[in-house]
């Protein structure tokens, strides 16, 4: 299978984790000429990342791809068998995609400026802290979001949490997280497939930040 993605993309990372957990052989490539290009649109009609070419079809949307992988490669399952736990996992995945990751996404264009707007980063941190506190209120007293096994509800947060911390740190802003959220994050990083993906994504993000530093310095 071919995974079209970006190393530091939150949505690419969670699909990469799922592929590794399932033991699927895949090759990850960058979208040709960038994901907004005509060349990429010819391969992936939506022009979005990630996309997975299975050999039989090209699939888009990270959650849809993960559910496809769960149906075609059942072990280990990423959707719980229990209906309540399954609903909880899907809700947490949706909360990540609509309430957590979108807070950090607008910070990326700010790196193009000659100097970082610390106020914008601090405001993002405050909103993230509030939304993580709301998430914590829904967490069960289990190891992961939907029980004692990693599920689709956890996958997005595996990389998004350290990504948020790193981006905010560049502006000298800390992300306050409760002890419970920090303990959950530690549990996630103890999983080898998660740690491998986080390391890759962090390396890609560091390279991107350095590129923006150099570009903003040259523009001054």
How does DSSP assign the chain, residue by residue?
Answer: -EEE--TT-HHHHHHHHHHHHHT---EEEPPTT-TTSHHHHHHSTT--S-EEE-SS-EEESHHHHHHHHHHHS-SS-SS-SSHHHHHHHHHHHHHIIIIIHHHHTTHHHHTTSSS--HHHHHHHHHHHHHHHHHHHHH--SSSBTTBSS--HHHHHHHHHHHHHHHHHHHTT------HHHHHHHHHHHTSHHHHHHHHHHHHHHHHHHHHHHHHHHHH-
Q: What integer pLDDT is reported at residue 139 of this predicted model?
A: 82
pLDDT band of residue 217 (cuts 50, 70, 90) is low
Residues 173-193: what's their mean pLDDT? 95
Which CATH number fits the domain that encloses residue 109?
Answer: 1.20.1050.10
Q: End of a domain among 37, 72, 107?
A: 72
Q: What integer pLDDT is reported at residue 215 of this predicted model?
A: 82
Domain shared by 208 and 138, yes or no: yes
Residues 85-106: what's their mean pLDDT? 96
Domain shared by 46 and 128, yes or no: no
Domain shared by 46 and 114, yes or no: no
Q: What is the dihedral angle through the alpha carbons of 22, 188, 135, 143, rounded to the nearest 10 degrees?
A: 90
Domain shared by 62 and 100, yes or no: no
Over residues 25-34, the pLDDT tens digits come to 999 999 998 8
pLDDT at residue 121 is higher than 90? yes
Residues 107, 114, 104: CA angle, nearest 5 degrees: 5
Domain count, the chain: 2
Q: What integer pLDDT is reported at residue 218 of this predicted model?
A: 53
Domain shared by 50 and 149, yes or no: no
Residues 6+ apart with CB under 8 A from 212: 111, 112
Q: What integer pLDDT is reported at residue 143 of this predicted model?
A: 87
Q: End of a domain among 17, 43, 72?
A: 72
- In-domain check, residue 26: yes
Domain shared by 68 and 87, yes or no: no
pLDDT at residue 157 is higher than 70? yes
Domain shared by 87 and 63, yes or no: no
The answer to whether 156 and 195 have CB atoms below 8 angstroms apart is no
Domain shared by 181 and 121, yes or no: yes
- In-domain check, residue 175: yes
Q: What integer pLDDT is reported at residue 199 of this predicted model?
A: 97
Domain shared by 138 and 211, yes or no: yes
Domain shared by 64 and 98, yes or no: no
Domain shared by 23 and 61, yes or no: yes
Q: End of a domain among 72, 94, 118?
A: 72
Domain shared by 118 and 172, yes or no: yes
pLDDT at residue 214 is higher than 60? yes
Range of the domain at 152: 83-219
- In-domain check, residue 78: no
Locate 145 and state its tokens. 């979001």
């Amino acid at each position: 299978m071919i995974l079209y993605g970006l190393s530091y993309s939150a949505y690419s990372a969670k699909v990469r984790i799922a592929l590794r957990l399932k033991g699927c052989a895949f090759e990850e490539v960058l979208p040709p000429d960038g994901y907004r290009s005509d060349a990429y649109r010819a391969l992936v009609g939506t022009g979005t990342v990630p996309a997975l070419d299975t050999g039989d079809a090209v699939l888009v949307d990270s959650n849809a791809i993960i559910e496809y992988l769960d149906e075609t490669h059942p072990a280990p399952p990423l959707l719980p068998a229990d209906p309540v736990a399954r609903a909880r996992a899907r809700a947490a995945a949706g909360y990540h995609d609509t309430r957590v990751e979108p807070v950090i996404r607008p910070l990326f264009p700010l790196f193009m400026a000659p100097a970082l707007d610390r106020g914008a980063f601090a405001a993002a941190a405050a909103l993230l802290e509030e939304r993580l506190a709301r998430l914590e209120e829904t967490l069960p007293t289990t190891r992961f979001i939907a029980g004692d096994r990693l599920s689709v509800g956890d996958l997005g947060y595996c990389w998004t949490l350290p990504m948020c911390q790193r981006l905010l740190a560049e502006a000298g802003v800390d992300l306050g997280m409760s002890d419970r959220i920090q303990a959950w994050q530690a549990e996630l990083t103890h999983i080898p497939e998660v740690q491998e993906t986080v390391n890759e994504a962090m390396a890609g993000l560091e390279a991107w930040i350095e590129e923006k530093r150099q570009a903003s310095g040259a523009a001054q």
